[in-house]
Structure 1
Amino acid sequence: MKLGPDIAAIVTGGASGLGYATATALRDAGVKVALFDKNAELGLEGAAAIGATFCAVDVMDHASVEAGFATARAANGQERILVNCAGGGFGAFKTAGRDKQTREIAAYPVDRFELTVQLNLIGTFRCIALSTAGMLTLAPLDGERGAIVNTASAAAEDGQMGQVAYAAAKAGIVGMTLPIARDLMGEGIRVNTILPGIFDTPLMNRARPQVKEALAASVPFPKRMGHAEEYARLALEMITNGYFNGEDVRLDGAIRMAPR
């Protein structure tokens, strides 16, 4: 897909981190961009800085997502690009474990598992389904109607202790990439997924410096955390390279996560 002012894009989780870096790269390429995010203050500030449209959206709420698409399309037209970066976790819990002090046994809080799946997996699919339904109304450009990039995680393949919900949700994104690409192959819409490793994002900045240093040292090469701009460059390659379809690509400096 050739990028330019005749193309509209939506980036979920677009107010910060990987999403904002990708939105910025798309705007730099001339694309009309809408940011979906729950953080209105950050989203409005970021959108103003790059000349994008902000839509207050919670990907776990169907009506909110529908309203976001309506707002974005009213401002920029029907999107041909969707980048799904919205996601996160709701704490680390073992499937079953013992309290370190009391030795009391507790099972994983299933409501936290459900929330994690709702946010990462179902939230991503909700946006894909609604976006592609809109893309089907478009005439093809150079044989294609649209391109989608999803965000999974290295945890989809190397989930650590306490990450069962997050790993399962991200593995679900990996697992649905090829079937969705096949669902949409007759309509000229491509779908790919990036599996980031340890990235230097606002969420990671909450960690103590020594924790960040240890994480960076655990990457085989280069021994640092990934930069959001590196994610953005891969996302744009997936969007612009017309033969990139149905793929799940790790972007992680060759790290393979240890059990803990």
Structure 2
Amino acid sequence: MKLDNAVAVVTGGASGLGLATVEAFLAKGANVAVFDMNEAAGQAVADAHPGRVIFQKVNVADADSATAGIAATMAAFGAIHVAVNCAGVGTASKILDRDSKALPLEAFNKTIQVNLVGTFNICRLAAEEMAKNAPDADGQRGVLINTASVAAFDGQTGQCAYSASKGGVVGMTLPMARDLSRYGIRVNTIAPGIFDTPMMKGVSEEYRQPLIAMVQNPKRFGDPAEYGQLCVTMVENNYLNAETIRLDGGIRMAAK
């Protein structure tokens, strides 16, 4: 599927992996709807690309908020061809704390709601619009790209909620691709390792270096542009479907 003149929705598109994806898609000629909770950052992206980017404040875990965002995208651009889910929360809490008290259920549920339910929410709404598109020569109408994490496979201490949410994203990749195959909509997932996002740039070298030590090659954090590059490939390669790809420099996370 070609990105030139396509319309993409990118959740979490105001920063980090999402922003890198927005920039990669714009470079390929796409128009983009940025969904994010950070109004200032999201509007700044839209202001930098007038006519080609719109911003919508969207809570991906809320049905009405996501529906409004999709409707605004359709009103602005008339179609949706690609949706990339980068919005998420990265909590770390053990099931029992140092005083042997159980993790509050609300904390676990919030992570599941944003990372897993939020991803499904955007997929279902975007797919409904994609199904209306005229197919290209290869029968393609749309592409969904979801973000899991290496924590889906080797979650660390304190990552029960996070790993469960990202494992759910991996687990629904194949059945979602099967569900949508009749419409010419492909579904893939990226499982990133450690990336130099704004959140990670703020941590100390004392914290960064043990993480880098677990990376095989190259010995560094991932560049968000490398995530955006893979998203472009997932859109443009029509035979890439129902796959989860680890983008992690060969990292295998230790227990802690």
Under TM normalisation by the shorter chain, which class is it?
over 0.9
Aligned mates of 1:43, 1:238 — CA distance in 2:
24
**Contact kept? 1:24, 1:50, Cα under 8 Å:** no
Q: Deviations over 1:122-156 (max 9, x none)?
A: 00000000110111112112211001110000000
Aligned mates of 1:22, 1:48 — CA distance in 2:
17
Q: 1:240 is matched with which residue?
A: 236
The aligned runs of 1:123-202 (5 Å cut-off) are: 123-142=118-137, 143-202=139-198
Say if 1:205 and 1:190 are closer, same or farther in 2 by CA, change over 3 A.
same
Q: Which moved further from structure 2: 52-61 or 240-249?
A: 52-61
> Residue 211 of structure 1 aligns to which amino acid in structure 2?
Y
Aligned mates of 1:225, 1:207 — CA distance in 2:
13
Q: 1:84 is matched with which residue?
A: 85
Q: Alpha-carbon deviation of 1:206?
A: 2.4
Q: 2:224 is matched with which residue?
A: 228
User: Is 2:207 aligned against 1:208?
Assistant: no
> Residue 31 of structure 1 aligns to which amino acid in structure 2?
A
Q: 2:65 is matched with which residue?
A: 64
Structure 2 regions of 5+ residues with no counterpart?
none
**Contact kept? 2:3, 2:30, Cα under 8 Å:** yes
> Residue 92 of structure 2 aligns to which amino acid in structure 1?
A
User: Is 2:255 aligned against 1:259?
Assistant: yes
Aligned mates of 2:73, 2:206 — CA distance in 1:
41
**Contact kept? 1:220, 1:254, Cα under 8 Å:** yes
Secondary structure at the residue paired with 2:8?
strand
| Number of residue pairs matched by the alignment | 253
State percent identity of aligned pairs: 49
Secondary structure at the residue paired with 1:193?
strand
Q: Alpha-carbon deviation of 1:40?
A: 0.5
Secondary structure at the residue paired with 2:84?
strand
Q: 2:27 is matched with which residue?
A: 28
Say if 1:190 and 1:184 are closer, same or farther in 2 by CA, change over 3 A.
same
Secondary structure at the residue paired with 2:229?
helix
Secondary structure at the residue paired with 1:225?
coil
| Alignment RMSD | 1.1
Secondary structure at the residue paired with 1:105?
coil
Secondary structure at the residue paired with 1:95?
coil
Q: Alpha-carbon deviation of 1:218?
A: 2.5
Q: Deviations over 1:12-40 (max 9, x none)?
A: 00000000100111011111111000000
Aligned mates of 2:93, 2:225 — CA distance in 1:
31
> Residue 82 of structure 2 aligns to which amino acid in structure 1?
I
Q: Alpha-carbon deviation of 1:230?
A: 0.3
**Contact kept? 2:214, 2:252, Cα under 8 Å:** no
Aligned mates of 1:179, 1:193 — CA distance in 2:
12
Q: Alpha-carbon deviation of 1:161?
A: 0.5
Q: Deviations over 1:63-85 (max 9, x none)?
A: 11111111111111211100110
> Residue 60 of structure 1 aligns to which amino acid in structure 2?
A
Secondary structure at the residue paired with 1:184?
helix
> Residue 44 of structure 2 aligns to which amino acid in structure 1?
E
TM-score (norm 2): 0.96
| Stretches of 4+ aligned residues off by more than 4 angstroms | none
TM-score (norm 1): 0.95
